[in-house]
């Protein structure tokens, strides 16, 4: 059982930490290469925008799971800090419930979009469903973490 937990933890870290780092690195390299190609060599490239959009989407979507897991999301602390412990608890329950309801409402549409979308990206001809496919596991994982925090 310990081996399974270890493997699950490593897989989760791969998806939530390593993959977003690689995606952001690809985004950054494509951005810098686009600047060099356009302003130094005078020949703009077309593929860099797709790499940047995909890298950004994967970075934001997958790293949001990690940020939620370690409870490091940005908070509106101006009002939150003035509340009593009971008020903070009520505010957390309300916010988490609101997130679960939003994810539950949007998840079927996300699944439908990822599964049925046949549009491909203009340069690489990659289905956009591949670009946005991390939304499904990310949404499910976020809902699970929020549910665990509510109980």
Residue 106 pLDDT greater than 90, yes or no: no
pLDDT tens digits, residue range 46-94?
Answer: 899 999 999 998 898 888 878 877 877 776 777 888 889 999 889 888 8
* Share of residues in the chain with pLDDT > 70 (%): 93
Please answer whether residues 65 and 142 qualify as being in contact, where contact means their C-beta atoms are separated by less than 8 angstroms: yes
Confidence of residue 41 (pLDDT cuts 50, 70, 90): very high
Q: In the prediction, which pLDDT does 149 show?
A: 66
Q: In the prediction, which pLDDT does 102 show?
A: 87
19 vs 64, which has greater pLDDT? 19
- Of the candidates 133, 131, 142, 136, the residue with the CA atom closest to the CA atom of residue 56: 131
What's the rounded mean pLDDT across residues 129-138? Answer: 78
State the Cα–Cα distance between residues 96 and 103, nearest whole angstrom. 11
pTM of the predicted structure, to 2 decimals = 0.74
Q: In the prediction, which pLDDT does 30 show?
A: 96
Residue 105 pLDDT greater than 70, yes or no: yes
What is the domain partition of the chain in residue ranges? 2-150
**Structure token pair of residue 116:** 């049925």
């Amino acid at each position: 059982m310990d081996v399974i937990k270890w493997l699950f933890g490593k897989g989760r870290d791969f998806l939530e930490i390593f993959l977003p780092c690689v995606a952001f690195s690809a985004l950054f390299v494509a951005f810098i290469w686009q600047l060099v190609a356009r302003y130094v060599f005078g020949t703009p490239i077309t593929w860099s925008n797709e790499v940047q959009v995909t890298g950004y989407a994967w970075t934001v979507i997958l790293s949001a799971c990690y940020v939620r897991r370690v409870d490091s999301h940005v908070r509106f602390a101006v009002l939150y800090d003035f509340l009593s412990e009971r008020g903070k608890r009520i505010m957390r329950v309300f916010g988490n419930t609101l997130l679960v309801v939003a994810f539950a409402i949007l998840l079927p549409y996300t699944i439908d979009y990822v599964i049925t979308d046949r549009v491909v990206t203009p340069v690489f001809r990659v289905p956009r469903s591949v670009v946005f496919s991390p939304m499904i596991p990310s949404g499910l994982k976020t809902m699970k973490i929020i549910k665990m925090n509510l109980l």
